[in-house]
Chain A
């Protein structure tokens, strides 16, 4: 079974600075997808960024980028120029590429990100 581990329960960052959230995962599969989701206090889960395991290039979405290390099974999220609106719970998630598992997401425990003004 796949597992996702987020070892940082809580992180703080000063506005306009950069912060990195860590995520490791365990799987025996070679093809899969990784995601970072953001859940603000309003509780609507929003996709921040995604990475296909077969792509070596790290995904980037504006101020958000990932460092995907497939051999190390590591998938960290870097947020640059942090803004007050970035404050939320961040979840790392795994999805198998094998259709037998459908769309099941396996989530980490989450990291609370606090942004200080």
Chain B
């Protein structure tokens, strides 16, 4: 099986712009979670989608949003980018019957 894929792998944006990141889960996985990783705050949960519905949301401002499509692919969007949004954004997928979440390689976002 192919693993979790994330596109793009690297992204450079300027303050005020918006960005969309994509995550394709492992085939058959219906749950997709997003995490933000920064040196200062560590790994923080953003949100989770399951069968196109947001199931859980972390403590992030409304500028961070996401969605999931019928094929389980997920996108996250960050509007009005701030310097502090520079981070590695990780996506993870999980099937219903297993405890393991499989992570993608991440998207490195740099905001200038």
Contact = CB atoms under 8 A, between A and B. Distances in A.
Interface of A: 33, 37, 42-47, 50, 52, 91, 95, 101-110
Contacts of B106: 43-44
Secondary structure of the B side of the interface? Answer: strand
Interface residues of B, number: 24
A103 B105 contact: no
B103 A44 contact: yes
Interface string B80-102: 00000000101010100001111
Contact of B100 (A43, A50, A91, A102): A50
B45 A44 contact: no
Contacts of B90: 45
B33 interface: yes
Interface string B41-55: 011110010100001
A103 B43 contact: no
B45 A105 contact: yes
B10 to A, nearest CB: 12
B42 A102 contact: no
A43 B10 CA distance: 13
B56 interface: yes
